[in-house]
Structure 1
């Protein structure tokens, strides 16, 4: 396999130098306080999502579906772990800016599998801003941004200087699964902490709601990370390295069953490595609050046929980038401004087509941005927000398919909103935003098949939202209505000529939708019920499962959540319920509707010792053993007249034990 690695030693040396500089500065500070360089909202705005470590722990999640499926505006389909894709308001995560400790996760490796690798055990917070939004969301955030922050040693330690955490879980479904987690952490000094965590998970083929074994869905996950961080009176810094390796045997199209004899079982591997340095310098004067991120990330995949060992497809993305921003805060104004830059490389090969069209591709791309976002408290009841970012994109095909073809594009992404605090308890918000995404590297696999001819227009997403939020004495009601269109959407288009096809601007995607949530917080728990719906279309026709990379149609979804803590017994109880209404399937005139389904999950945890060192947990997911195809899963295929995606997992009972030393 051809490699396009950056000089890792140089990167490591550079990060180490900056990290040691921050360490030295932190040690010089006499007053030690712990600051958080990331804003974590106590209550998310209407249409957005904020999750903390406790919420994630309650979910007892092992994959993306278990992490996100019960959240408003989100859907996760695919069945097996490797195939899971996240949909935000019906649009696929290929248009969502995702960062992990500030490191951008770019591109798509292969359209028949999931794009993102996230390990729930490592995560401290998740913040989602749905829809094109603030200038600080990053370049090309057509459908919003998701920011994931990893835990550090101080998150795990109390007054102790060192500690450890071990966890084991076993899932009873189909041919069963298990997971082992080990973590060690400590304070090197009063202000410097180190954590190292490893997670190993294996699962055999699962059973669906009818009790039938769904194959091939087995997986093997080996994942770990190390994070060194320091805190001081004016500075925070962290240096983190994360590595994930996911393997399994699937069909060449991992999100589909073996519906065609031409698709054989293949050994599949997917990896990600991310190295990130974050630094915050806050002088405390409202003028200098400088936040810097430097990162390197690499992701790759490969499929080799079991029958011959021959390559079906492989691809690799590699990115090096930085983001530097400053926050200025006065009595009634907050201004954030900065610059960001990213350099991407891709290397891919596909032998999936007839040999005439086999190909390779090597590409490089850059994106440079400059941005500003301002929040102004104009009056006691009116807050105005406005922002603007400028981005410049360059892309070139260096070798292989379309060698020599290049694109350059630049554009602006403005936004503005107004919030009216009508009463102490009630606020209204209206906003408009545009996101610009220039021509860059899209998908590794298709890049070795479809040709760039240099004639593409950049994509532009316009988003209009109206929302309200009311909260009084623990009771809350939040809602959002929105409309968005994505112009000049770029996709691979089959031509059937001398070349397989071209990258083209193929049309306009649109979505109209709403979200509503009503709930109550209690001293020892909460309860809420919500509903969301997104009507997605492409060129005035409803989205279908065939719109890979863009999105699909999902039925109106109702979510219910409840949690209660029995303090006398140190028992935490939780319930999640989701009802998805049936949805018309426009993939073919005679296609059956996507059926409705109702899924209930129950959770419980018990800490039997006073210091909560030991925790015993249990969950029953899909309590009523519902058989269904998640609407985010590739389901019915018109050509073969049957379902070719994976049905969802049936009832699973999981038992977990963890101990914190």
Structure 2
């Protein structure tokens, strides 16, 4: 560890997040344990009524239902600091504070997700099945997992116990949605049933079919039609003695017609002299098998065990040319929390992951290329309530990476990553924190579809993040602000992962204020960040994006005893001044835009279990492009879209 990174361990005073009314009743030490050392405040998007972490930037518990979320853009469109590029659903990529999610540890029910191709989306998830999403930004605490240079993105799907109401033996949900823009539909069916006192089973499936959508000018955006299917099966047990078990299988597949680059238009390729490739059917899919076990006896402060194991197979194939890439990941993690006293606890354990990629690509002259990566890490995170007003969290992890490239070159590395944070709470309504954390990712598989020979001396990447935050909450009013400064040393360019592009630097801020009481919710947030690679000519490029300052205003109201909720949000994205460079004009400036979205949901009292939803995205038909690195070459974003949904619970 170099002196610069070691010096960063000096503790600095700062500030933390606001408390929700429910959180004020909690013990402060428990709050700190949830705080996650050294992270920027985690963002939580919830699909149902579950406890939320203190001070999280959050979407309402039923937000995903209210807006009939159908893709990643819908999931995160009200979440400050998270940007999802536009265009076809199969090419959507998530950027967290300007850095792509491939720099984070991304998991779905604990199963680690990899990156197939930078021209396709790395994430396959069905929003309808999401229970909760946690986004921890920046190099984080020891619990964030392997390779968490920019924190972690954690998806959790629903299980039968989340759906079956107390005293009931079964649950059913039938849903249908109509889309006006890119005329299409989605149908889904979910069943859940108790299998005795301790076990329950959930089965869910859905199918979506959509045509090409129109942009804000009313022009059809060619090659944006697609169809998709998903299946989720989960067997869950809640057993005596504090044991819990969830065994899940998930299948997703989406197909669309496209040229070689799913996120680049044909017109741009032709005008710039690049080959388009063959127009053909492209399939993107994922199959995952997960087992999650928990043991909390309740009367033993030394044991609170969580363990999971998983197998994930991600696939990308082109029907005509036969190009294909597969990314298989197997792994497990075990962690236990021990309370040594009322004021001190430790969480410790091990992560293990094995990943293998196979690619056949006649378009790029690659035949049956294979890369293998094996990594593991030991970690410990400690939480210490020093005083009524002070709490300290500190820990670290030691990670080891073994990698073999397509030529048989072996690259091994290991490193220790520490973290520390201090929280100061002078009064119940006000909290201050400061934190510093480091993370390490060794040389490994960066992108399955573009394997390369790695130089023998290539080193891994080191990240560090310093954060300060301040927050206040009282009588329904809340306000918080944070500032972060992060860097990634020896950033490895993600396409091929064969060369270092120098150091990434990124700093930014986020501020939020609002009011929540008596069915009313109002909030206004602003966020900005500026990632860059020192000495590199492009203002942004693959792996990061300068998206510009973002303002989000949100409001909703639920009149008592009506079953109706209505609201919406306004997003204003400021412009970004950039100059195209050389022969690769992927960056050509980004124009500002304003989006207005609205929804109304009615839980029909006269028909128990029936809910009707109307959602309008881009109400005023704004012509725009989401701010991504492919602004000059990517697809225009959709114009106004009505979504009409009906669901029936039984």
Normalised TM-score (structure 1): 0.86
Compared CA separation, residues 502 and 322, structure 1 to 2 (3 A): closer
Indicate the residue corresponding to 1:498 in structure 2: none
- Confirm or deny: 8 A CA contact 2:39 2:467 kept in the other structure: no
Residue 73 (structure 1) aligned with residue 75 (structure 2): no
Partner Cα separation in structure 1 for residue 315 and residue 385 of structure 2: 46
- Confirm or deny: 8 A CA contact 1:87 1:632 kept in the other structure: no
**1:436-467 deviation digits (Å, cap 9, x = unpaired):** 001111111110xx322322111001111001
Partner Cα separation in structure 2 for residue 625 and residue 427 of structure 1: 42
Indicate the residue corresponding to 2:645 in structure 1: 656
Shift of 1:40: 8.4
Indicate the residue corresponding to 2:334 in structure 1: 324
Indicate the residue corresponding to 1:11 in structure 2: none
Shift of 1:610: 5.6
Partner Cα separation in structure 1 for residue 66 and residue 453 of structure 2: 47
Shift of 1:502: 7.7
The secondary structure found in structure 2 opposite 1:56 is helix
Partner Cα separation in structure 1 for residue 256 and residue 321 of structure 2: 16
Compared CA separation, residues 92 and 574, structure 1 to 2 (3 A): same
- Confirm or deny: 8 A CA contact 1:256 1:646 kept in the other structure: yes
Corresponding residue to 2:238 among 231, 238, 247: 231
**1:545-591 deviation digits (Å, cap 9, x = unpaired):** 5x22x111111000111121122321011211110000112433997
Indicate the residue corresponding to 1:273 in structure 2: 287
Residue 133 (structure 1) aligned with residue 124 (structure 2): no
Partner Cα separation in structure 2 for residue 469 and residue 539 of structure 1: 33
Compared CA separation, residues 194 and 543, structure 1 to 2 (3 A): farther
- Confirm or deny: 8 A CA contact 2:330 2:353 kept in the other structure: yes
Compared CA separation, residues 273 and 502, structure 1 to 2 (3 A): closer
- Confirm or deny: 8 A CA contact 2:344 2:383 kept in the other structure: yes
Corresponding residue to 1:491 among 493, 497, 506: 493
Corresponding residue to 1:51 among 45, 59, 76: 45
Indicate the residue corresponding to 1:300 in structure 2: 315
Compared CA separation, residues 403 and 621, structure 1 to 2 (3 A): same
Indicate the residue corresponding to 1:466 in structure 2: 468
Partner Cα separation in structure 2 for residue 40 and residue 333 of structure 1: 14
Shift of 1:293: 0.4
- Confirm or deny: 8 A CA contact 1:58 1:574 kept in the other structure: no
Residue 513 (structure 1) aligned with residue 508 (structure 2): yes
Partner Cα separation in structure 1 for residue 117 and residue 411 of structure 2: 22
- Confirm or deny: 8 A CA contact 1:274 1:296 kept in the other structure: yes
Partner Cα separation in structure 1 for residue 515 and residue 308 of structure 2: 38
**1:233-291 deviation digits (Å, cap 9, x = unpaired):** 41111101111011110121000110334213221001101111111111212111111
Shift of 1:320: 1.0
Partner Cα separation in structure 2 for residue 127 and residue 302 of structure 1: 30
**1:178-227 deviation digits (Å, cap 9, x = unpaired):** 11110010111122111000011111100000010001101111011001
Indicate the residue corresponding to 2:218 in structure 1: 211
Compared CA separation, residues 346 and 271, structure 1 to 2 (3 A): same
Residue 85 (structure 1) aligned with residue 85 (structure 2): no
**1:145-182 deviation digits (Å, cap 9, x = unpaired):** 01111111111111210121100000111x41211110
Partner Cα separation in structure 1 for residue 571 and residue 226 of structure 2: 26
Normalised TM-score (structure 2): 0.88
Partner Cα separation in structure 2 for residue 543 and residue 485 of structure 1: 17
Partner Cα separation in structure 1 for residue 366 and residue 326 of structure 2: 17
Corresponding residue to 1:258 among 249, 255, 266: 266
Corresponding residue to 2:435 among 406, 431, 434: 431
Compared CA separation, residues 189 and 331, structure 1 to 2 (3 A): same
Indicate the residue corresponding to 1:535 in structure 2: 530
- Confirm or deny: 8 A CA contact 2:501 2:533 kept in the other structure: no
Partner Cα separation in structure 2 for residue 612 and residue 286 of structure 1: 44
- Ranges of 4+ aligned residues in structure 1 off by more than 4 Å: 540-545, 589-592
Shift of 1:91: 0.5
RCO higher in structure (CA 8 A, sep ≥6): 2
Partner Cα separation in structure 2 for residue 534 and residue 632 of structure 1: 14
Partner Cα separation in structure 2 for residue 82 and residue 385 of structure 1: 40
Compared CA separation, residues 502 and 57, structure 1 to 2 (3 A): closer
Partner Cα separation in structure 2 for residue 190 and residue 611 of structure 1: 30
Compared CA separation, residues 542 and 470, structure 1 to 2 (3 A): farther
Shift of 1:332: 1.1
Corresponding residue to 2:251 among 233, 239, 243: 243
Corresponding residue to 1:623 among 605, 609, 619: 619
Partner Cα separation in structure 2 for residue 223 and residue 633 of structure 1: 30
The secondary structure found in structure 2 opposite 1:506 is coil
Corresponding residue to 1:562 among 555, 565, 580: 555
- Confirm or deny: 8 A CA contact 1:79 1:633 kept in the other structure: no
Residue 111 (structure 1) aligned with residue 118 (structure 2): yes
Indicate the residue corresponding to 1:185 in structure 2: 192
Indicate the residue corresponding to 1:26 in structure 2: none
Residue 583 (structure 1) aligned with residue 576 (structure 2): yes
**1:389-434 deviation digits (Å, cap 9, x = unpaired):** 001000113xxxx422111010111110001102211111110001
- Confirm or deny: 8 A CA contact 2:336 2:347 kept in the other structure: yes
The secondary structure found in structure 2 opposite 1:121 is helix
Partner Cα separation in structure 2 for residue 46 and residue 317 of structure 1: 30
Partner Cα separation in structure 2 for residue 200 and residue 388 of structure 1: 44
Indicate the residue corresponding to 2:207 in structure 1: 200
The size of the alignment, in residue pairs, is 590
- Confirm or deny: 8 A CA contact 1:543 1:552 kept in the other structure: no
The secondary structure found in structure 2 opposite 1:609 is coil
Shift of 1:359: 4.0
Partner Cα separation in structure 2 for residue 40 and residue 376 of structure 1: 13
Gaps of 5+ in 1: 1-38, 494-500, 637-643
Partner Cα separation in structure 1 for residue 74 and residue 494 of structure 2: 31
Partner Cα separation in structure 2 for residue 492 and residue 441 of structure 1: 9
Residue 503 (structure 1) aligned with residue 498 (structure 2): yes
Q: CA RMSD in A?
A: 2.0
- Confirm or deny: 8 A CA contact 2:538 2:581 kept in the other structure: no
Partner Cα separation in structure 2 for residue 467 and residue 487 of structure 1: 24
Corresponding residue to 1:282 among 296, 313, 321: 296
Shift of 1:492: 6.2
Indicate the residue corresponding to 2:159 in structure 1: 152
Gaps of 5+ in 2: 1-32, 48-61
**1:464-496 deviation digits (Å, cap 9, x = unpaired):** 100111101111111110011111111268xxx
Residue 440 (structure 1) aligned with residue 444 (structure 2): yes
